[in-house]
Amino acid sequence: MKYIRARLGLKLFLSYLAVLLVGVSVIWVATQITTPRAYARHLAFMESQMGTGFMNGQGQGQGQGQGHGMVADFYENFQASFNEALLISVFAAAVIAVVVSWLLSRNIVSPVQAIMSASQRISEGHYDERVNSRGMDEIAQLAARFNQMASQLEQVETMRRQLIGDVTHELRTPLTSIKGYMEGLVDGVLPANAETFNQIHHEADRLSRLVDDLQELSRVEAHAYSLDVRSVSVSSLVQTTLKRLSPQATAKRITLRSNLPNDLSHVHADEDRITQVLVNLAANAVQYTPEDGEVLISASQHGNELYISVKDSGIGIPQEHLKNIFTRFYRVDKSRSRQSGGGSGIGLTIARHIVEAHGGRIWVESAGEGLGSTFTFSLKVS
């Protein structure tokens, strides 16, 4: 019994057999009950057609007893031949039904078995495993959903591996620097002066900024924060950003200014989060713009959306990098961003997550290298 319970194919096969058995029994019983009456009725009909007393032996001088005997004989022979024919047909039908039900059960069970073995392989870490799904029935749909789930798992696994690789790489660089400085100090190759200590401090600072950024990234990627959405004035957001970045801009003699229309609407946003987005974009603009350049923050209304743009006259972004620029850890020129203050390629990823959490979009335009860039994001007007 346990063996049967554990096998869907066998259960299906046995259920087909049960249906077959019931069908055959009903046919058998029904024919045994209905045949004598049907026989008598047909015989009576035949008799009335022939116009003779065939049933009670009045025709052609035959005696009554002889007539009755003949009818009984007739009936017995008829019953025997009918039963024989019934037995042969039931047997033939049963054999065919058994073969067909075996084929059918196998047909139903084999895709289920395929899904089972594929899930086993996936649980062992083979995320590229898929099942063939043909047809449109529920089992084919199950197989299609299973494949969908498998490819999502595969994607998550790839992202996880990539993230660990990226994070390891990002952490190793400043650590290697710090170790190098320390070894230099111990060996007496580097002088123990303020400059060396400053360098070490700078690397340690980079490391701690990176850890903060990673924490923030994991929070926004997991949506583990809540938005405090209110009606916010865009011009106050822009003023806060300008104030925060003016030291860096002044240090590089960059003109940092804004150009906002007077009748600008308020937007639906979490003030702190959107300030973070704007600061990230403006900080990039200042960072990737050479001295004496220009950075402009502007806003314009398009229907019920407000576009906020940060435009710079900086180094620009080559066409082929534009589509990847919001991917985490992506930097156009890794060596360059490291020299110019150690960006780790997280700022834009965080910005994109925050904007999308507000139901907005963020995009970049750049005419190419050396031709400046414009980052724009949209927010809903309140």
Place of tokens 């930097």: 331
Q: How far apart are CA 119 and CA 277, in angstroms?
A: 42
Residue 363 — φ and ψ, nearest 5°? -150, 170
Binding-site string for Mg ion from residue 293 to residue 332, where x marks contact by CB under 5 A and - marks none: ----------------------------------------
Interface pattern 324-343 for ligand ATP (x via CB under 6 A): -x----xxx----x-----x
Q: Which range in 86-94, 122-130, 236-244, 337-345 contacts Mg ion by CB under 5 A? A: 337-345
Which tokens is 54 given?
Answer: 């065939």
264 DSSP 8-state letter: P
For the bound state, the minimum distance from the C-beta of residue 126 to Mg ion, rounded and expressed in Å, comes to 38
Nearest Cα to 117, choosing from 146, 137, 144, 155? 146
Give CA–CA dist 211/160, Å, rounded. Answer: 17
Question: What is the Rg, in whole angstroms, of the alpha carbon atoms belonging to the chain?
Answer: 43
213 binds, among Mg ion, ligand ATP, none (CB under 5 to 8 A by kind): ligand ATP
317 binds ligand ATP (CB under 6 A): yes
Structure-block tokens of residue 321: 């990098």
Which of 202, 216, 278, 218 minimizes the C-alpha distance to 244? 278
Contact predicate 358/274, CB 8 Å? yes
Quick one: which of 241, 275, 344, 378 contacts ligand ATP (CB under 6 A)? 344
Q: Which position among 150, 245, 296, 315 is part of the footprint of ligand ATP (CB under 6 A)?
A: 315
Instruction: Confirm if 185 and 196 have CB atoms less than 8 A apart.
Output: yes
For residue 250, what are its two tokens? 């002044």
Site string for Mg ion, 120-149 (x = CB under 5 A): ------------------------------
Q: Can you spell out the DSSP letters for 287-311?
A: HTS-TT-EEEEEEEEETTEEEEEEE
The interface region with ligand ATP, picked from 115-123, 136-144, 148-156, 277-285 by CB under 6 A, is 277-285
**From the list 373, 376, 378, 379, which residue makes contact with ligand ATP (rule: CB under 6 A)?**
373
The Cα–Cα gap between 164 and 83 comes to 78
Q: Which does 337 bind (CB under 5 to 8 A by kind): ligand ATP, Mg ion, none?
A: ligand ATP
Q: Which of 174, 293, 347, 360 binds ligand ATP (CB under 6 A)?
A: 347
- For ligand ATP, the closer CB: 308 or 346: 346
Residue 213 makes contact with ligand ATP by CB under 6 A: yes
Query: Contact between 308 and ligand ATP (CB under 6 A)?
Result: no
Chosen residue from 118, 245, 308, 346 binding ligand ATP by CB under 6 A:
346
CA distance 260 to 237: 11
Residues paired with residue 312 on neighbouring β-strands, in sequence order: 295, 373
Q: In this chain, which residue has its C-beta nearest to Mg ion?
A: 347
Q: Using CB under 6 A as the criterion, which residues of the chain lie in contact with ligand ATP when the complex forms?
A: 213, 280, 284-285, 288, 312, 314-315, 317, 325, 330-332, 337, 343-349, 373
